[in-house]
Structure 1
Amino acid sequence: MTKSKIAFICTHNSCRSQIAEALGKKLADDVFESYSAGTAIKNQINPDAVRLMKKIYGIDMQASGQSNKTLDALPAVDGVVTMGCGVKCPYLPAKWRVDWGLNDPTGQTDDEFIKVIKQIEKNILALKNQLKQSPR
């Protein structure tokens, strides 16, 4: 059976969606492929996200080849996860979609950033479990 392809979408594809892509690759690669993209991308991944992901998980998002991408850079996906940006994402064909409703930690303290990162980790693990139980 082929793995599901999941797209994590956020406005700038610089923080929450990049974190979700990285954690998806680390924690759920045996169940689904992780991608991220944005609707109005920035020119780099959020430096605090890069620093904290390296510190907490040993993941170097930049060295692993992650970069800011627009929706047209995505392959065909099975599921779409929006981060809670309040953005009306352009239509992206998928079998299902969900919004995680996460606050953007950009410009916040490390503690706030870590709360969001840990919530993304929980959500990734829950999604992994859900897809293992009943592949969509």
Structure 2
Amino acid sequence: MKPKVAFICVHNSCRSQMAEALGKLYASDVFDSYSAGTETKPEINQDAVKVVKDLYGVDMNQDQYSKLISELPDIDVVIKMGCNVACPYLPAKHEEDWGLDDPSGKSQEEFVRTAREIERKVKDLAQRIEQGEIELN
């Protein structure tokens, strides 16, 4: 059974949503991707939606929405996107903080840079899980 990875931040509208989409795109053979926050927004950040659609051809508006961590199944790996304040707590076998700055309200270049960094980190995470570098037992 594939491990479940949750990408979490406070609002679940931008970075965590991008990570969920890119996790599904690049690592669905290794892990199941989820995202959530301690608060929700009425819609996913539309700048993030545009960049992910332009770069990767994935429309996050179709099957993703802002949700609370209480809505998640039991999670094996928690990835905190970089909260700068108190990150949500979610019990898991492994936890990391990717420390990514929130591009909300910034230029499209910032969103592209953030998306590319998330892509790199998602691929690295998948490789580390596949190679058994992350303890999940």
CA distance in 1, matches of 2:87, 2:13: 16
Which ranges of structure 1 fall in alignment gaps of 5 or more residues? none
With the length of structure 2 as denominator, give the TM-score of the two structures: 0.94
TM-score by length of 1: 0.95
Identity %: 52
State the aligned residue count: 134
Q: Does 1:39 align with 2:30?
A: no
| Alignment correspondent of 1:69 | 67
2:52 counterpart residue number: 53
Q: How does 1:4-15 map to 2 (within 5 A)?
A: 4-15=3-14
Output aligned runs, 1:1-136, within 5 Å. 2-63=1-62, 65-134=63-132, 136=136
Separation of aligned partners in 1, 2:59 and 2:4: 22
Q: CA 1:112/1:89 → structure 2, altered by over 3 Å: closer, same or farther?
A: closer
The alignment partner of 1:102 has SS state of coil
CA RMSD, Structure 1 to Structure 2 (Å): 1.0
Q: Check whether the contact 2:37–2:88 (CA below 8 A) recurs between aligned residues.
A: no
Q: Given the superposition, is the C-alpha separation of residues 90 and 15 from structure 1 closer, same or farther in structure 2, using an over 3 Å criterion?
A: closer
Cα distance in 2, alignment partners of residues 89 and 120 from structure 1: 18
1:65-100, Cα deviation, whole Å (9 max, x unpaired)? 100000111000001000001232343121011000
Please give the secondary structure, in 2, of the residue aligned with 1:62.
Answer: helix
- Structure 2: stretches of 5+ with no match in the other structure: none
Contact 2:36 2:67 in 1 (8 A): yes
Q: Structure 1 112/92 Cα, relative in aligned 2: closer, same or farther at 3 Å?
A: same
| Residues in 1 aligned to 2:51 and 2:89: alpha-carbon distance in whole angstroms | 32
Moved over 3 A (4+): none
